[in-house]
Structure 1
Amino acid sequence: MLENKIKGFLRDIDGNVAVVIKNFNNGEIIQINQDYIFPSASTIKLVIMSELLKQVKENKLSINETIVITDKMITGGDGILKELNVGHRFTLGEIMTLMIIISDNTATNLLIDIVGMDNVNRMAQELGLKRTKLQRKMMDSVAVKYGRENYTSAQDMLNILELTYKGENIDGYYSKMMLDILKRQQVGGRLNLYLPENTVIAHKTGDLDRLEHDVGIVYLPNCEYIICVLTNETKSNKDGRQIIGNISKLVYDQYAG
């Protein structure tokens, strides 16, 4: 039984691990620590993308409107925008794509300013994400010091991915757009760590010190399933990535047939 295999693997693991899996072919659902609240790291960017596209649908924003990158916008951590000369012009759609496929923090903070933090949290509520909250921008160490962290759970991540998979995150058109971007993810080494290189996954990673997450939809020829693995307080980030990779491989081996 897959759930027992995963629990057996987790028995000797140091740290906190949550696993939620949903197989769309046979309906199997596995939930381990599904409501445990973790710092979200970059998985919160799924909700930011959803809110941006909701505002695009409502004609409050245009995905083709452009923004010129200035010095004041630059944020540290992951991303490419901070490495470029200022003055480049990007569309909102391009900034959103950079936020997801390379987890660009400058792009993320720009979008938080544009769509509004309160609106992102309202979107999380509308999507039924009971334990997901955006309380600070990326790389805001002062906010962290004062206890303002971003949070989520494995169950919430499954919920937003399932709505998107079913075409119910905003609507079918924007859900497909989100999935297409998530399939172009360039940050790997977690869910796909031990899987065949040609495995298609629409996913989003996240990492902080001794925290690694990866949540996504795996597309196999005979089966499609959501897998969300959240970890923290592991011995190292490398350990966290390997935990995710090992659990993902157990699931793949079970479902690939």
Structure 2
Amino acid sequence: MRLFWYLLVAPMTAVGVITGAILFQSHAALSPVLESADQQHVPLASTQSLEDLITIRDRLLSEIEKQPPTLIAAASGLGGPTPSAITHQLHAVAVRIEIEEMARENLSKAFKLAEEAVRLGNKTTLTSATQAELQRLYQLWDQAVAALSEIPEESFLSQQAIAKRREYEANRAYVGYYYDTIRSGFLKKIAESTGLGDRVHLTVCNLQRECRRLRGNQPPASPASLIKVPVAIALMAKLAAENISPETKILVSPGNWTEDAGKIWVGSEYSLRAIMADMISYSGNIATNQLIDYLGFDYINRVMRDRGYNTTRVNTKLVGESTYPANLGTGPNVLTTDELTDMMVGIYNNEHPGDDLILDALVKQYDWELGYEAIKRPAVWIGEKTGQNSKVLGTTVGVNIQGERYIITVAINYTGSEPAVKQAVKGVVDHLIRHRGFGG
């Protein structure tokens, strides 16, 4: 039963009683302490299960039945709690029973949905699953997560629900990746329209993290200056973790000099915020190298791992035309358009401290040759970071289309063709406008 009716005793005459019923609904009346007939305090928190609560309820009901009518009790001097006191206790128990019954129902519902999902598919079958099968799998895991989310923190089942929700969310994300990917056929046509189809890496996501992708989980030949976004994210993580002001000034070491278009000079002091802004807005190599020194490769890569980015790694400082900075590092820098796009989604959602500072730098981007040039009304450009070297040309750009914000990341291997990158961005924007979203 969801709700419970209880007998109340009220004075009518010296020997008369009347019974009534109260429907308990308000959770605000939860009482931390219950009182029994012998005045012993029984903490509600001491109960361990729904069955314990039902036992307490039945005991209190029994106590009500044993109580003499109010006026008789008063005239005879009989002790014991008043009916209203016991009723209050019953109210608290009734509310908690309702919570636990609903929690049990939601947990059972989640388990049944998960069992059905497991029967329909697993990690070994997803690559060959049809779109309809993937859609059904995604819906099942999504509904299971939703059911677990309905279980409140005060429930006995909350810890079990939290653990299962994490598990089911991971399963939903895993299935969701394949479900999104199988619906990404339009990106192949867009890539082919550039004339460089097999070299194009392309990911587009809305801020709810629904995505479409083409080779999005495969690293391009190089991240070029797109790697500066992870460096900015790691900087903000350190400032937040160590309570460091972004206005703190540091000296830019002469050893970090290399050719670049930034405004930061070696041998001078700048605030951490100014150095980060120069790295993002002006794509400053010197600024990037100084922040790598400040953070360390290990710290940057630990932040990436902690946030679930298992491919992105910063292993080497940035080199301009010919000058190598001190403490260059070892091994290539690596990222994927999938992971970079997700980082940008986090920034635009302001999910972490300091994201607003990175976003401000993205909006003040100095390079308008790629995404900015490709995005035309009714779409609106809302920030960008570009990257180019001898191995890749790419951009990650924010766009607002009819009130919905998206991140589009394009990287094309072994080309310097700005028209190709702009064609890819424009193709995605046109599709989103035409279909009022991803469509299908």
Q: Do the structures match in fold with TM over 0.5? A: yes
Q: What corresponds to 1:185 in structure 2?
A: 365
Q: Are residues 1:194 and 2:382 paired?
A: no
Q: What corresponds to 1:161 in structure 2?
A: 344
Q: What corresponds to 1:230 in structure 2?
A: 411
* TM-score normalized by the length of structure 2: 0.51
Structure with the higher helix share, 1 or 2: 2
Q: What corresponds to 2:354 in structure 1?
A: 174
Residue range with higher mean Cα deviation, 111-120 or 241-250: 241-250
Q: What corresponds to 2:261 in structure 1?
A: 78
Q: What corresponds to 1:42 in structure 2?
A: 225
Alignment coverage as a number of residue pairs = 244
- The whole-number CA distance in structure 2 between the counterparts of 1:249 and 1:174 is 30
User: 2:247–2:271: 8 Å Cα contact kept in structure 1?
Assistant: yes
Q: Are residues 1:214 and 2:395 paired?
A: yes
Q: Are residues 1:10 and 2:191 paired?
A: yes
Secondary structure of the equivalent of 2:382? strand
Deviations 1:34-86 (A, max 9, x none): 1111221111111111111111112363311213445333222332335xxx5
Q: Are residues 1:244 and 2:425 paired?
A: no
* TM-score normalized by the length of structure 1: 0.83
Secondary structure of the equivalent of 1:180? helix
Say if 1:47 and 1:63 are closer, same or farther in 2 by CA, change over 3 A.
same
Say if 1:128 and 1:110 are closer, same or farther in 2 by CA, change over 3 A.
same
Say if 1:156 and 1:114 are closer, same or farther in 2 by CA, change over 3 A.
same
- The whole-number CA distance in structure 2 between the counterparts of 1:44 and 1:210 is 14
Say if 1:24 and 1:163 are closer, same or farther in 2 by CA, change over 3 A.
closer
Task: Please report how far the alpha carbon of residue 103 of structure 1 lies from its aligned counterpart in structure 2 after TM superposition.
Answer: 0.6
Secondary structure of the equivalent of 1:63? coil
Residue range with higher mean Cα deviation, 105-114 or 175-184: 175-184
- CA RMSD across the alignment: 2.8
Deviations 1:77-97 (A, max 9, x none): 332335xxx554311110110
Identity of aligned residues (%): 23
Task: Please report how far the alpha carbon of residue 105 of structure 1 lies from its aligned counterpart in structure 2 after TM superposition.
Answer: 0.5
Letter paired with 1:215: T
Task: Please report how far the alpha carbon of residue 146 of structure 1 lies from its aligned counterpart in structure 2 after TM superposition.
Answer: 9.9
User: 1:212–1:230: 8 Å Cα contact kept in structure 2?
Assistant: yes
- The whole-number CA distance in structure 1 between the counterparts of 2:256 and 2:207 is 41
1:203 to 373, 381, 384: 384
Structure 1, unpaired ranges of 5+: none
Task: Please report how far the alpha carbon of residue 134 of structure 1 lies from its aligned counterpart in structure 2 after TM superposition.
Answer: 0.9
In the TM superposition, what are the counterparts of 1:77-116 in structure 2 within 5 Å?
77-82=260-265, 87-116=267-296
Higher relative contact order (CA 8 A, sep 6+): 1
Task: Please report how far the alpha carbon of residue 120 of structure 1 lies from its aligned counterpart in structure 2 after TM superposition.
Answer: 0.4
Task: Please report how far the alpha carbon of residue 221 of structure 1 lies from its aligned counterpart in structure 2 after TM superposition.
Answer: 4.0
Say if 1:119 and 1:69 are closer, same or farther in 2 by CA, change over 3 A.
closer
Q: What corresponds to 2:307 in structure 1?
A: 127
- The whole-number CA distance in structure 1 between the counterparts of 2:237 and 2:381 is 26
Say if 1:24 and 1:62 are closer, same or farther in 2 by CA, change over 3 A.
closer
Displacement over 4 Å in runs of 4+: 2-5, 140-143
User: 1:195–1:252: 8 Å Cα contact kept in structure 2?
Assistant: yes
Say if 1:250 and 1:28 are closer, same or farther in 2 by CA, change over 3 A.
farther
Say if 1:120 and 1:28 are closer, same or farther in 2 by CA, change over 3 A.
closer
Q: Are residues 1:148 and 2:325 paired?
A: no
- The whole-number CA distance in structure 2 between the counterparts of 1:226 and 1:32 is 14
- The whole-number CA distance in structure 2 between the counterparts of 1:66 and 1:146 is 24
- The whole-number CA distance in structure 1 between the counterparts of 2:358 and 2:325 is 31
Letter paired with 1:123: V
Secondary structure of the equivalent of 2:373? coil
Letter paired with 1:16: R
- The whole-number CA distance in structure 2 between the counterparts of 1:29 and 1:22 is 4
Task: Please report how far the alpha carbon of residue 15 of structure 1 lies from its aligned counterpart in structure 2 after TM superposition.
Answer: 5.7
2:241 to 33, 39, 58: 58
Task: Please report how far the alpha carbon of residue 29 of structure 1 lies from its aligned counterpart in structure 2 after TM superposition.
Answer: 2.5
Say if 1:254 and 1:179 are closer, same or farther in 2 by CA, change over 3 A.
same
Residue range with higher mean Cα deviation, 191-200 or 107-116: 191-200
